[in-house]
Structure formats: structure tokens, C-alpha cells
Amino acid sequence: MATNRSRRLRKKLCVDEFQELGFELNLNFKADLADEAIDGFLEAFLRDAMTANGLGYVGGDDFGLVCLAKRGCVSEEQRALVEAWLKGRSELVDFTVSPLIDVWYPENAINPA
């Protein structure tokens, strides 16, 4: 594909200066945790960690992608807030939070600021 794109096309494709960043999330729940407890965790997660910080979550109960709720990039501060929120939860055995990645083209490198 051509690399000499118009500003309008770069915006539509979410590339170059319009690149959008997010991060992947893997959650490992305790083995003996009831379904109701997992549902309660997910409701609190979406309310307190995602919506409260202007973030959106796409995925299942154990793996997903976190991105900004509107157009733009997740900041390192928002990523750290989600990580801190998860550390305080007793329902999890462990979890992993990836570094920031391009949410539209994960194989692409992050553009320098």
C-alpha cells in the first residue's frame, strides 16, 4: 500500500499521527470462584476501572483489549490506574497488562511522540 497518503485517509486508517494506542489484558480468576463473583467483578471492573477512567473494554471475562472510549490513545497513567485497580482485587490469582500497542494494527510499532 502506498505510504504517501492524504491526511484524510491517514485519519480514516488510524495511522501515523492518528495512531490509537491501547493494551491487552489477561485475567486469571481463582479456581473456586463462583460465576456470580466473576459477574460482580466484571461489573465493578467496567464501572470503576474502565468507565471512570474514560476507557472501553472489548473481550471476554479472561482476556480483552482496553482502548479509549472515544477516539485517541490510552495514556501510561490510565494503564497504570487499571493495573493498580486490578492489584487490589482478591478474585484474581494473577493478571498481565501488556505494554501500549497500536489497537488497529498490533503488529505495527508505536510512533514516537
Structure confidence at residue 112 (pLDDT): 79
What percent of the chain has pLDDT above 90? Answer: 83
Over range 35-53, report the average pLDDT.
95
Structure confidence at residue 30 (pLDDT): 94
**Is the pLDDT score of 24 beyond 60?**
yes
Structure confidence at residue 57 (pLDDT): 96
Structure confidence at residue 4 (pLDDT): 86
pLDDT per residue over 76-96, tens digit each? 999 999 999 999 999 999 999
Structure confidence at residue 3 (pLDDT): 74
Residue 113 confidence class, pLDDT cut points 50, 70, 90: low
Q: How far is CA 82 from the centre of its chain?
A: 9
Contact 24, 95 (CB under 8 A): no
Structure confidence at residue 111 (pLDDT): 83
- Burial code (b: 16+ CB inside 10 Å, e: under 16) for 27-44 equals bebeeeeeeeebeebeee
Closest by CA position to 27, among listed 71, 89, 73: 89
Structure confidence at residue 101 (pLDDT): 96
CATH of 20-102, one of 3.90.1150.10, 3.30.70.100, 3.30.2320.30, 3.30.365.10: 3.30.70.100
